[in-house]
Amino acid sequence: MNFYPFHLGDYASHTRHLSLLEDLAYRRMLDLYYTTEAALPVEPEKVARLIGMREYVHEVADVLSDFFVISDAGHTNSRCEEELALYRAKADRAKSANKARWGGARAGLAAEADEEFEQSSKGRATHANLAPLKSETRSETELQTAQIATNNHEPVTRNDKPINNLPIKKIKPKSKTAATPQQCEEYFEYAWEDYPKTSACTRIAAYQAWNARLAEGASPVQMFQGAGSYADFVLDKQVELDEVMHVSVFFGPERHYLTDWDERPLWKHEETYFDEEEY
């Protein structure tokens, strides 16, 4: 957890009796509690080391006795536990909502891909079946005509001269139906709604980048899906707002929306741990 609400009035009213060192110790204990999302150790000496105040174990012990309760998990704080419970509930709701939305979108995309593969397979099978039929129906007259045409350097194509007076029908693979302009607009609205926006993210920049990729032939479904996956990534990994990718970069030429954000590991700067040997 990299963010938690801090109520100045409540904090001031409950900490007026603390000395400067005790106030510093308490603030660092809160940061440690929220960062690790776990109770503090039972031993005051260990807590002092973790918050970088090993020379002030006495002050640390006094703060622990004032604001924390010893339990089986360690020193717990009721206010911290309430904030963590609210944070986890909100994160679970947001994650469930995103998965419900993107689950349907991914299912639709998979069905569309299966249909396209099936159509392509039928096209390849049709061409394979016609190839031997054409060669088998060539008569001796046709072969002689082809030889004469070769000698005269004026080849007669099989499309120009039908076989057995029957024209040869050209078979073209069915192309994938493109999204309509209205569907592209709807996909953009969904993507913009779910994208983790910051104060620097503007709708105009997102829309311009979106249309630029559409002009290059990008799939609006993939862009829409990518925005949701990135939103899940930001939520799951607790990415700070100032670290969120700008929306124009996300939909930019590098096409970050194609990244498999579900498999992306934790960023190095997000990993937080405490090594006792460092204190």
At 129, list the tokens: 């079946």
Q: In which residue are the tokens 């039972």 written?
A: 42
Question: Following DSSP, what letter does each residue of 198-264 receive, concatenated?
Answer: -TT--HHHHHHHHHHHHHTT--HHHHHHHHHHHHHHHHHHT--GGGSPPHHHHTSTT-GGGS-GGGP
pTM of the model: 0.39
User: With b meaning 16 or more CB within 10 Å and e meaning fewer, what string describes 249-264?
Assistant: ebbbeeeebebebeee
pLDDT number for residue 85: 86
Q: In which residue are the tokens 């990729």 written?
A: 213
Instruction: Read off the amino acid at residue 54.
Output: R
Q: How many CB atoms lie within 10 A of CB 16?
A: 8
Per-residue pLDDT tens listing for the chain (279 residues) = 677 778 888 899 899 999 999 999 999 999 999 988 899 999 999 999 999 999 999 999 999 999 999 998 899 998 898 888 888 787 777 676 666 655 555 555 556 656 655 665 555 544 444 444 444 445 555 555 555 544 555 554 545 454 455 554 444 444 445 678 888 888 888 888 888 877 777 888 889 998 999 999 898 888 888 888 888 888 877 788 778 888 888 899 989 989 887 766 554 444 444 444 544
At 202, list the tokens: 């503007």
pLDDT number for residue 68: 95
Distance CA 259, CA 81 (A): 35
Spell out the domain ranges in the chain: 8-76, 178-279
